[in-house]
Amino acid sequence: MARERDEHDRFERPRRHTKPRTKVRPNYDAAATARVVTIDRGRYTVTLDPSTGSGSGSDPSTGSGSESRVITAMKSRNLGRKGVVVGDHVRVVGDVSGDEGSLARIVEVTPRRTVLRRTADDDDPVERIIVANADQLVIVAALADPPPRAGLIDRCLVAAFDAGMQPLVCLTKSDLGSADELVAMLEPLGVKVVVTRQGGDLEVVRDALRDRTSVLVGHSGVGKSTLVNALVPDANRSVSYVNAVTGRGRHTSTSAISLELPFGGWIIDTPGIRSFGLAHVEVDDLIKAFPDLQDAARDCPRGCLHTAAEPECALDAAVADGSLARERVESFRRILDSMNQRDDY
Ligand SMILES: Nc1nc2c(ncn2[C@@H]2O[C@H](COP(=O)(O)OP(=O)(O)OP(=O)(O)O)[C@@H](O)[C@H]2O)c(=O)[nH]1
Ligand SMILES: [Zn+2]
């Protein structure tokens, strides 16, 4: 679903060996592959995949923990208006040495597996993709100070399901409040929850993040930086961060920034993202994240929106005959409703 809307899908990649090479469509199969870690004023900081750069041959999608070469690149003209976002897998040509002052060119963007969008707002009327290719959305909420808002968590869940990303709810500041209520709220949806506090044991969090690409979202003050610094002890000195900061003065943009986890995988922080684009989400897309509900909904009348107001929704029948748990249907309807409430996230 997310893939169908991917703007890049309309542009076919040149297939290896099937088409004759022409001057019109250069073949970049030999170009180095890299991933975009942050963007600042038209300059893309990318890390060269270890297999292209140093020849270690490890899987670039999981991150091996080895030092990746960081280079600065610009978008090539042939990409036209096509966007390049954090998390994109790209091909780069030109000076890929990564030496001070060097500048490579991004010539191709690999089709995206997932896309996460933010909504249009006053500053920018277009709903834009903010992160590509992430497989997990980590929704960070504090148990107190600031108090958690269930509606926001629900909206983030919708964004995750719609984007084809697995949600993980991370409840911070467990020293200040109990997680029981939120855990009970999320359990019927099958959403994984981890509970943390500053200075606490992070093993469960590490296990949930290991070898995946996770996007962190959460409001200011919930303890996101505290968490990132605990997971990536040298976050402020990491290659991508330093490059973004020292490369061209201060890192002033609000671009997402991708950090390699020392235990494998990546986390992408999203400063300044206040809301997700949910306007395009269809009920039929959302329900795909719940195969049992989707299955039961096959008996719904055409055009059924599956809300509690629908007189003949088959989800109610399934609850009545015991094939679906009432809490699960009610929880699904709750996140369905959250979609239509205008609010941050
Ligand atoms: N009591 C308590 N305080 C915490 C915990 N984690 C973080 N804090 C405090 O909460 C405040 C906000 O933490 P940050 O990590 O800066 O939060 P953030 O989400 O990164 O916020 P921004 O930097 O504004 O985006 C700081 O004063 C932290 O010391 C925790 O587990 N328990
Ligand atoms: Zn229905």
- Opening angle at CA 280, ends 324 and 90, nearest 5: 105
Give me the half-sphere count of Cα atoms (radius 13 Å) on the Cβ side of residue 7.
15
pLDDT tops 80 at residue 32: yes
Tell how far CA 71 is from the center of its chain.
22
pTM: 0.84
* pLDDT confidence of residue 255: 79
What's the confidence (pLDDT) of residue 74?
96
**Average model confidence (pLDDT) across the chain:** 84
pLDDT of residue 21: 54
Q: Which residues surround ligand 2, an ion (CB under 5 A)?
A: 300, 304, 306, 313
Predicted complex ipTM: 0.97
Please name the residue whose Cα sits nearest to atom 25 of ligand 1. 220
277 against 160, higher pLDDT: 160
For 21-30, the pLDDT digits (tens) are: 555 666 777 7
Ligand 2 centroid vs 13 CA: distance in angstroms? 39
Structure tokens at 269: 């922080």
Sort 97 into a burial class: Cβ within 10 Å, 0-12 / 13-18 / 19+: exposed
**What is the model's pLDDT at position 247?**
47
Taking residues 71-81, what's their average pLDDT?
91
Q: Kindly state the average pLDDT of the residues 150-174.
A: 94
Q: Write down all domains in the chain, each with its CATH number in brackets.
A: 3-109 (2.40.50.140), 115-269 (3.40.50.300), 283-339 (1.10.40.50)
Which pLDDT score, from 0 to 100, does residue 273 have?
Answer: 76
Per residue in 103-138, pLDDT tens? 999 999 999 999 998 877 767 777 789 999 999 999
Ligand 1 pocket residue status of 103, Cβ below 6 Å: no
Q: Which residues on neighbouring strands pair with residue 36, listed in sequence order?
A: 46
Cα 191 to averaged position of ligand 1 atoms, centre (Å): 24
